[in-house]
């Protein structure tokens, strides 16, 4: 029996070592969203985006973090805590130039607030070479990056991103059910 518990412990230890370390999601009171910094040295933006989109917390969908205000940016920078640059949810479509044009959030939210480091974004390796957002560059600033595997990890945000089509469908269904209940109640009076 003792041998099985040692083997089981070794398997659990091996699993813990091979899985990426992850912090517990933390809620920001500024918008009620949850954020999680996931260390994963060398992950590409595409892989980080796919992974973030597959995660949930408290039933809320995950996505690469979108940063829409200075206070949200400061909160996320505090979570990253100078541990290296991490992927965020900003990107440009392939081939977009100049470097500061056409930035978008993975959620479709409006792109307005920015915190680029001096001289950024710059497409450092040539036109349209860096089209993904790195957070926490040189401390608290943003940097445009290629789809490289050179960042320290990524930041996941968890919130209910409203799907207007689904909301309208639910509203229409609820109104139809209410009408049916009213007609049914009137018939039984």
Locate the domains of the chain by residue range: 19-183
Report the C-alpha gap between 143 and 119 in whole angstroms: 9
Least trusted range by pLDDT, from 11-15, 51-55, 137-141, 153-157: 11-15
**Alpha carbons 178 and 65: distance in angstroms, whole number:** 38
What's the CA gap between 56 and 76, in Å, rounded? 18
CA distance 118 to 58: 38
pLDDT in tens, 17-48: 333 445 699 999 999 999 999 999 999 999 99
What pLDDT was estimated at residue 176? 56
Provide the whole-model pTM: 0.75
d(CA 118, CA 110) in angstroms, rounded, equals 23
- Check whether 184 has a pLDDT greater than 80: no
Element (H, E) at 181: helix 164-187
Largest CA distance in the chain: 76
What's the CATH number for 19-183? Answer: 3.10.100.10
Residue 136 in tokens? 């926490």
Alpha helices in 62-163 (DSSP H): 70-80
């Amino acid at each position: 029996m003792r041998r099985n518990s040692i083997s089981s412990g070794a398997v659990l230890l091996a699993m813990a070592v091979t899985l990426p370390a992850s912090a517990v999601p933390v809620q920001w009171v500024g918008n009620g969203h949850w954020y999680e910094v996931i260390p994963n040295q060398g992950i590409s933006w595409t892989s980080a985006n796919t992974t973030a989109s597959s995660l949930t917390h408290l039933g809320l969908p995950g996505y690469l973090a979108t940063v829409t205000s200075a206070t949200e940016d400061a909160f996320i920078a505090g979570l990253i805590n100078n541990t290296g640059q991490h992927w965020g949810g900003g990107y440009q479509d392939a081939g977009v130039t100049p470097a500061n044009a056409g930035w978008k959030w993975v959620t479709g939210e409006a792109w307005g607030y920015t915190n680029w480091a001096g001289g950024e974004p710059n497409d450092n390796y040539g036109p349209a070479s860096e089209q993904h957002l790195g957070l926490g560059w040189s401390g608290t600033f943003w940097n445009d990056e290629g789809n490289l595997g050179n960042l320290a990890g990524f930041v996941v945000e968890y919130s209910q991103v409203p799907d207007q089509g689904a909301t309208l469908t639910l509203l229409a269904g609820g109104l139809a059910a209410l009408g049916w209940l009213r007609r049914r109640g009137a018939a039984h009076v």
